[in-house]
Chains A and B, each alone.
Chain A
Amino acid sequence: MINGNPIVQMRNVSKRFGKIQALDKIDLDIKRGEIIGLLGANGAGKSTLLRHIIGLYLADQGQCITFETDAAKLTPKELGRIGYVHQEGELLEWMTTKQLIRYVSAYYENWNHELEEKYIADFDISLKDRVGSLSPGQRQKVAILLAIGFEPELLILDEPASALDPIARSQFLDLLLHIIQDEDRTIIISSHILSDVEKVIDHTMIMRTGKILRDCSFDSLREEFLKVTLTSLNGNLSVELPFENIIDCERSGAQATLTVQNCQQQELETKAKDLNCEIEIRSLYLEEIYRIIVSKCE
């Protein structure tokens, strides 16, 4: 359940790395219980934004508040409520997996050993191997365990599934679906595998060159963009189609496939009826929506 009180607030946050404007006047609120999909191309600023939330980066301008504390001044108590899987996958290479898990768990009062055991069994993690000798997929699995083992209130997943094989990815999604059953948990997931992300998220943020292009609920986004397939019941379709806000149109004889924005389903159906057409309406996949939004800004 989404609670009105934001656990992360960013106001006018900007960050520059040399000539690159990594974040450009970002304003956002992340509310408790939201499952957010953070989307964007490489270099869009996703990881930079996430690192500001946990105080690894400090803003050149603006303010970032996490758990009602300035992100620069987060104390162990607040940090103990945040789980973070980072895309570089840095771990303590010289420890064995078992040593690493014991080491990290020693920091957390509420470490869930049952969850740990279940995860190790489900994901087939070898405890004896040195972390440095693990394959990228195995490392990623260990990193995920370390981030979820203490059941954090805020879970930040920066490209968590990039190194996982299809089976592990599907297991990971199941795990996420299990985790999000706790309604108070907030998850921010940044990933390029949008087909996976769309199964779990309820909120979307789309970034491009350090700016947030869209920050809205996933449902509203799905309602905003629709794919309409019109099939004429009496020969070819007329040249002019009486629809507004058409983003894309592909025609082939008696059939046309349209992508439309901000159109009411009922209105579309009425117009199709007037044209003596059969109509099929479906929501766009996240990947299609993402492409449209990003291409509009180019």
Chain B
Amino acid sequence: MTALQANLKHFYQRPVMWFWYFILAVTIIPVVILPLTSAWDKSFSTYLIASVFLGIIAASIQKEILTKPFSFCLPGYQKTLRRLFFLIGVLANSVLGLTFIRYPGIDLPYTLLVICGACFMGMAFYMLAIWITLLGNNTFAYIGFAPLVVIGLEAIGIEVGDILEHVIITLPLYLIITSLLFCVFIWRYLGKVSLTRRHCDKVMLGILSNATSKRVRLYLQNKALKKQSKSTVTFNNKLYESFLQRMKKYAFFTKRRYVLGYALMLQDKFLHLWSLRFLVTILLVIVSLGYIGTGELRAIDMLFLLPIAFSFNFNLLPYGSILLPGGRKEKYYASVGLAFAMTLLIVVVAVIVEGLSILLAGILPTISLKGQIYSYQPMNIENLLTCLLLMPIGFVFATLLSKNYVSKTITMIALLFVWSFLWRLVVTTYIWMISALILISWAGFLMVLLYHCMRRSLVGQGKS
């Protein structure tokens, strides 16, 4: 088996990849089918988004493989890597470039040149995505800024889509040469040994990772500890001391002492939260999301998804193999206490954010863009009920599926999808029902957790 053949196995052997292929298919198929069946539309030039997405997926997989020291030692692996990238890129972009096949007003030879130019531009975008993914740690964050830049440019009258279309149609030859040069640059970059050395044996989480709760925890801890400043260290130390002193106030081997100790053990979950940058980011998100969407479809309400996502990833029974004097009952009480404390904290934070968004609604100006009026809208506090309903369900899945990040994420997406339909029905017709559902959801959580704590193994096989 050649290194290339071995590498290709990564693309179909892991079940999680099929999830990403589904997303990719949903993105790419319309991009290719629509231009072939319909008249030209300038929105077709967005095929480049599919190229970028494909580049991110291809590079993310390889980045994870590169973290395994084995791949560093494999002879000729690096050459295989770039060959593979180019193979995928050429195949995909040859199809995506066909977007321009029905472009009006140009003859057949020139159409072929335009298609060629479009293919090369797609290839350049694809390679750019690969470059950014391999170079940085926060690919999605960097690339996530692209739509904001596009919105910003369009706000000052620069139509990005029109420019891209114009370049492809009027300057195909220059486009081919420039893209070719860029691809050569990336080809050379991918051949550098420093690339493999850079990623070798790094703890990372990606779309292919076997994201066990322990791995996620270690990854987040490493990240948080690296970013710690003097003030965050002081704050965390104070928090540590305060919990330790409180813990010591209770007698040895009592539930209270154990529960407080348990809470202290989980302080790591908040290590990365206590920074100014985190608070500024939250504020920016509240400000920007308030302008997006209207009526019932307001982006700012999406903030309520965060506590739900958090609950799906909040393992209430971590560090199973560290033996501290706490039996199964104590673990149960500690977990329940933590779940309630977390929910209470989230309610408090939600109320603060709600208050802040109401305050901002009175201060922030209304913006006019391309004839559209954008006014700031505060959060709808009704969504907090969704949090109270879905968080215990999240805690249950976080406990039962603690080993599998992907299963948890898919379950969460499915649950939110179903709830998005039921929500309107419940709110408009059976508002009383929501209180009953919240009670049932919490009762279910308590029962499942009790069963888990008392009747199941507290650590996985061969795991901690």
Contacts from A to B (Cβ < 8 Å):
17, 20, 22, 47-48, 51, 54-58, 72-80, 82-84, 86, 88, 90-95, 99, 102-104, 106-109, 130, 132, 147
Chain B residue numbers with a CB within 8 Å of A17 are 461
B418, chain A: closest CB distance, angstroms: 30
14 contacts between A and B (CB under 8 A): A51-B457, A55-B328, A55-B458, A73-B328, A74-B328, A78-B327, A79-B326, A80-B252, A88-B464, A92-B319, A93-B218, A94-B224, A103-B244, A106-B261
Flag if A72 contacts B454 (CB, 8 Å): yes
A10, chain B: closest CB distance, angstroms: 16
Q: Per-residue CB proximity of B317-339 to A under 8 Å, as 1/0?
A: 00111111111111000000000
Flag if A56 contacts B459 (CB, 8 Å): yes
Contact pick for A56, options B244, B271, B320, B454, CB 8 Å: B320
B193, chain A: closest CB distance, angstroms: 26
Given contacts A72-B454, A76-B253, contact A92 B322 (CB under 8 A): yes
Roughly how many angstroms separate A265 CA and B267 CA in the complex, as a whole number? 63
Given contacts A90-B321, A92-B268, contact A76 B461 (CB under 8 A): no
Flag if A77 contacts B221 (CB, 8 Å): no
Contact pick for B323, options A83, A92, A95, CB 8 Å: A83
Given contacts A73-B328, A94-B268, contact A22 B461 (CB under 8 A): yes
Roughly how many angstroms separate A80 CA and B253 CA in the complex, as a whole number? 8
Chain B residue numbers with a CB within 8 Å of A48 are 461
Chain A residue numbers with a CB within 8 Å of B320 are 56
Roughly how many angstroms separate A83 CA and B324 CA in the complex, as a whole number? 9
Flag if A102 contacts B244 (CB, 8 Å): yes
Q: Which residues in window 335-360 of B have CB below 8 A to A?
A: none
Flag if B321 contacts A79 (CB, 8 Å): no
Give the residue name and chain of the A residue nearest to B244 (CB). A106
Give the residue name and chain of the B residue nearest to A84 (CB). B323
Give the residue name and chain of the A residue nearest to B217 (CB). A93
The answer to whether the Cβ of B166 comes within 8 Å of any Cβ in the partner chain is: no
Q: Per-residue CB proximity of B76-117 to A under 8 Å, as 1/0?
A: 000000000000000000000000000000000000000000
B165, chain A: closest CB distance, angstroms: 51
Contact pick for B456, options A20, A47, A58, A73, CB 8 Å: A58
The answer to whether the Cβ of B264 comes within 8 Å of any Cβ in the partner chain is: yes
Give the residue name and chain of the B residue nearest to A109 (CB). B252
Count of interface residues, chain B, beta-carbon cutoff 8 Å? 43
Give the residue name and chain of the A residue nearest to B254 (CB). A76
A152, chain B: closest CB distance, angstroms: 10
Given contacts A86-B321, A92-B322, contact A58 B457 (CB under 8 A): yes
Chain B residue numbers with a CB within 8 Å of A86 are 321-323, 464
Flag if A90 contacts B464 (CB, 8 Å): yes
Chain A residue numbers with a CB within 8 Å of B455 are 58
Flag if A54 contacts B244 (CB, 8 Å): no
Flag if B463 contacts A79 (CB, 8 Å): no
The answer to whether the Cβ of B248 comes within 8 Å of any Cβ in the partner chain is: yes
Flag if B328 contacts A132 (CB, 8 Å): no
The answer to whether the Cβ of B138 comes within 8 Å of any Cβ in the partner chain is: no
Chain A residue numbers with a CB within 8 Å of B323 are 54, 79, 82-84, 86, 147
Roughly how many angstroms separate A103 CA and B463 CA in the complex, as a whole number? 23
The answer to whether the Cβ of B247 comes within 8 Å of any Cβ in the partner chain is: yes
B225, chain A: closest CB distance, angstroms: 6
Roughly how many angstroms separate A82 CA and B240 CA in the complex, as a whole number? 26
Q: Which residues in window 355-405 of B have CB below 8 A to A?
A: none
Chain B residue numbers with a CB within 8 Å of A51 are 321, 457, 459
Roughly how many angstroms separate A77 CA and B328 CA in the complex, as a whole number? 13
Give the residue name and chain of the B residue nearest to A91 (CB). B322
A76, chain B: closest CB distance, angstroms: 4
Chain B residue numbers with a CB within 8 Å of A47 are 462
